[in-house]
């Protein structure tokens, strides 16, 4: 990054212009789309359920969540590993914050349940490592812009819950980037345990096969239900 404000993106895309409402509140029951390579924020009341859909089956969702009362309390993969004694959350598991408080609970998952909690979100520096000379859309900036679009600033860039991302962890600790094993139309449902701001990024990665080998990044969809 060439600037010192963590909330300022390294580049821009349409994430700045596609907020679902001024403060991120969704119309209950309405289905929204997240354009390929973009991010969207949604405000959830306690008890509401966020249903995230993978229309193509190949698209990864970088998922972030922040307590609405204080954005410095955020979904934390490191703390999740401790609370679950596992790298792989499943239906019934709580997703905890950096204050070890449950922010969300996975209530349903129609996919095979292969998600990643190890890998940091893609950012400008990552694409430079991968050989990109110019700006490349990335999940860190999508997070920044999705929050900016509803009048908020990202206090930091946490490691995300990478929904549908397939990063096998071998016995020797090695990892690899593999295509998702989700199917078209698979859905994961997350119940908010506190009022929070969730951000979903339709990951723009098109160099490694995390969104499918030879497949362009695609849309995501979501809806909010009362319970």
As a whole number, mean pLDDT of residues 159-180 equals 97
- Least confident stretch, 4-13, 147-156, 182-191: 4-13
* Residue whose token pair is 């306690």: 46
Structural tokens at position 76? 């934390």
3-state helix, strand, coil in the chain (%, to 5): 15, 30, 55
pLDDT digits (tens, 9 = 90+) for 117-169: 999 999 999 999 999 999 999 999 999 999 999 999 999 999 999 999 999 99
Radius of gyration, alpha carbons of the chain: 16
Looking at residue 95, what DSSP letter applies? E
Answer with the residue of higher pLDDT: 213 or 189.
189
- The residues near 173 (Cβ < 8 Å, ≥ 6 apart) are none
Q: Residue 31 gets which letter from DSSP?
A: -
Question: The tokens of 114 are what?
Answer: 């292969």
First to last CA, the chain: 40
Q: Is the pTM of this model over 0.85?
A: yes
Which residues, including other chains, have CB under 8 Å from residue 42's CB and lie 6 or more apart? 20, 24, 25, 26, 32, 50, 197, 198, 199, 200, 222, 224
pLDDT at 3 over 90: no
* Arithmetic mean of pLDDT over the chain: 96
Condensed to tens digits (0 to 9), the pLDDT of residues 203-220 reads 999 999 999 988 899 999
């Amino acid at each position: 990054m060439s600037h010192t404000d963590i909330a300022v993106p390294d580049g821009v895309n349409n994430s700045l212009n596609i907020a679902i409402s001024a403060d991120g509140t969704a119309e209950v029951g309405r289905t929204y789309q997240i354009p390929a390579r973009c991010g969207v924020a949604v405000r959830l009341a306690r008890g509401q359920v966020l249903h995230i859909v993978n229309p193509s089956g190949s698209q990864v969702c970088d998922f972030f969540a922040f307590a609405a009362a204080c954005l410095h309390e955020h979904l934390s993969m490191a703390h999740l590993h401790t609370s679950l004694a596992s790298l792989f959350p499943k239906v019934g598991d709580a997703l905890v914050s950096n204050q070890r408080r449950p922010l969300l609970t996975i209530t349903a998952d129609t996919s095979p349940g292969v998600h990643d909690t190890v890998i940091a979100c893609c950012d400008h520096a990552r694409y430079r490592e991968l050989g990109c000379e110019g700006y490349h859309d990335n999940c860190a900036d999508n997070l920044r812009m999705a929050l900016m679009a509803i009048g908020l600033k990202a206090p930091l860039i946490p490691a995300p819950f990478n929904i549908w991302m397939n990063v096998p962890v071998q016995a020797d600790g090695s990892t690899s980037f593999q295509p998702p094993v989700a199917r078209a139309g698979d859905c994961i449902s997350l119940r908010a345990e506190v009022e929070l701001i969730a951000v979903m990024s339709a990951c723009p990665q098109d160099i490694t096969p995390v969104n499918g080998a030879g497949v362009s990044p695609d849309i995501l969809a979501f809806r909010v239900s009362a319970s």
